[in-house]
Amino acid sequence: MSPNTTLRRGRPGYDQQGILEVAVAAFNEYGYDATSMGVLADRLKLSKSAIYHHFSSKDEILDRALDQALGSLEGVLDETEAAAGSAADRLDRVLRGAVRVLVDQLPYVTLLLRVRGNTEVERRALARRRAFDKRVTALVAEAQTEGSLRSDIDVRIVERLLFGMINSIVEWYRPGGREDAARLADDVVAVALDGLRVPAGAPRP
Amino acid sequence: MSPNTTLRRGRPGYDQQGILEVAVAAFNEYGYDATSMGVLADRLKLSKSAIYHHFSSKDEILDRALDQALGSLEGVLDETEAAAGSAADRLDRVLRGAVRVLVDQLPYVTLLLRVRGNTEVERRALARRRAFDKRVTALVAEAQTEGSLRSDIDVRIVERLLFGMINSIVEWYRPGGREDAARLADDVVAVALDGLRVPAGAPRP
């Protein structure tokens, strides 16, 4: 869309994705409940009716934002399932992909991780998170069965610890720092799959 | 204190620790700001003045609760520093000790992890958390220098990933489940220090 078209439509500066971005930042800053459509309109310097042109309700904004994070995470699993390789290698790809989504869509994933199930939209998002966790858990089980992952830990605990570690990255990661997504993904895989400890008797660095 | 003494003092059923426990549960359920002394008095079936006999303010209750969690975590580091062994072995003990504190004091650690620095009490708690993280980071650095931990990852990232994983346990751990603290500590160490992946060429289970 050219700037000119935007102007003719009378909402200069913000398309739907632009509104979404500002709304997600506000939800993360003040909390979803505390962010009214009036607060959003102030932040966007738009009238409430201009926002309603794009979204029928605050709930729909939340729904769209959560769908973006969940869709990206589910996309990682879909791609991985289509790929060849051992289950451990596919799990490696899932962990890297999840870190990439988290870094690329930090505010959206942050919002997703704060959802507690207070509304229908939130409950649907939690159900999709559980379905995602189940698919990852099945992949861990497959890797244990094929003998590429140690099998003395409950698969659900493995999945929770792995994603506990990955999700915690939203607490401290700031874009533009020294770690880019690829480096951070290497670090996560190094800790989780390969382990930090240098085996006794290995050559000292 | 015998029950009789408690009765004579006119506050049957709750000593200071008992009040603390109920308050921490309420803070975790409703949020600290949303939990007034009136709400606490209702929950405890005590008068507000009976609570004020034990704590001068709601802030003091929070301070005591956070101090309990922080003191326990700092205690793990203190014990470990006094112990012999390689830095990697001491880090192993720190991770296990932190899991034990988290399981034993789940509501207190949950409260600590939600602190965002809105008050002076919260800022002091955050400063103590940062000091704890720094001591763990120094231990990771020592283990890298001695060659017992891989040294290709930034020590601060290692510390954050390790405690991201450990702290995430508060999100799902429920006492009385199938995993006790010792088992869960084994799992964390297995993932973080030894790694999940079975090396290529290792015997299949």
Who has greater pLDDT, A8 or B55?
B55
What distance in Å separates the CA atoms of residue A184 and residue A67, rounded to the nearest whole number? 24
Residues of B with CB under 8 A from a CB of A: 88, 147-154, 157-158, 160-165, 167-169, 171-172, 178-179, 184, 187-188, 190-198, 204-205
- The tokens of B170 are what? 């508060």
In DSSP terms, A197 is beta-bridged to: B149
How close A145 comes to chain B (CA, Å)?
Answer: 9
pLDDT, position A12: 57
- The tokens of A48 are what? 């409430």
Task: Read off the DSSP letter of residue A108.
Answer: H
Query: Using CB atoms, which residue from A149, A165, A171 is nearest to B198?
Result: A149
Binned at pLDDT 50, 70 and 90, residue A203 comes out as low
pLDDT, position B4: 42
pLDDT, position B137: 98
Check whether A144 has a pLDDT greater than 60: yes
Residues of A with CB under 8 A from a CB of B: 88, 147-154, 157-158, 160-165, 167-169, 171-172, 178-179, 184, 187-188, 190-198, 204-205
Check whether A42 has a pLDDT greater than 90: yes
Judge whether B201 lies within some domain.
no
Whether A43 and A134 share a structural domain = no
Whether A43 and A123 share a structural domain = no
Residues from chain A contacting residue B157 (CB–CB below 8 Å): 179, 184, 187
Check whether B202 has a pLDDT greater than 70: no
Whether A143 and A184 share a structural domain = yes
pLDDT, position A47: 93
Q: Which of B2-6, B81-85, B129-133 has the lowest mean pLDDT?
A: B2-6
Judge whether A150 lies within some domain.
yes
Widest pairwise Cα distance in chain A: 72
Q: What is the pLDDT of residues B115-144, one digit of tens each?
A: 989 899 999 999 999 999 999 999 999 999
pLDDT, position A10: 47
Binned at pLDDT 50, 70 and 90, residue B178 comes out as confident
Whether B119 and B182 share a structural domain = yes
Contact A191 B162 (CB under 8 A): yes
* CATH number, domain containing residue A25: 1.10.10.60
Q: Count the domains in chain A.
A: 2
What distance in Å separates the CA atoms of residue A165 and residue A168, rounded to the nearest whole number? 5
Tell me the average pLDDT across A26-53. Answer: 94
Q: Give the residue from chain B lying closest to A186, CA to CA.
A: B153
pLDDT, position B3: 43
Could you tell me if B53 and B9 are in contact, meaning their C-beta atoms sit under 8 angstroms apart?
no
Mean pLDDT rounded to a whole number for chain B: 90
Percentage of chain A exceeding pLDDT 90: 79
Whether B136 and B99 share a structural domain = yes
Who has greater pLDDT, B177 or B51?
B51
What distance in Å separates the CA atoms of residue A135 and residue B194, rounded to the nearest whole number? 24
Whether A19 and A65 share a structural domain = no
Judge whether B3 lies within some domain.
no
Q: For residue A177, count CB atoms less than 10 angstroms from its CB and return exposed for 0-12, middle for 13-18, buried for 19 or more.
A: exposed
Cα Rg of chain B, angstroms: 20
- The tokens of A118 are what? 């207070």
Q: What is the pLDDT of residues B20-39, one digit of tens each?
A: 999 999 999 999 999 999 99
Range of the domain at A49: 13-55
Percentage of chain B exceeding pLDDT 70: 91
Q: Which amino acid is at A185?
A: A
Judge whether B128 lies within some domain.
yes
Tell me the average pLDDT across A82-97. Answer: 94
Whether A46 and A83 share a structural domain = no
Whether B78 and B63 share a structural domain = yes
Whether B103 and B182 share a structural domain = yes
Binned at pLDDT 50, 70 and 90, residue B203 comes out as low
- Chain B contact probe: residue of A163, A187, A194, A197 with most B CBs at under 10 A: A197
Whether B77 and B152 share a structural domain = yes
Q: What DSSP letter does each residue of B57-99 carry, written as one string?
A: SHHHHHHHHHHHHHHHHHHHHHHHHHS-S-HHHHHHHHHHHHH
pLDDT, position A27: 96
Contact B154 A187 (CB under 8 A): yes
Check whether A108 has a pLDDT greater than 90: yes
Judge whether B204 lies within some domain.
no
Whether A165 and A73 share a structural domain = yes
What distance in Å separates the CA atoms of residue A72 and residue A69, rounded to the nearest whole number? 5
Mean pLDDT rounded to a whole number for chain A: 90
Check whether A148 has a pLDDT greater than 70: yes
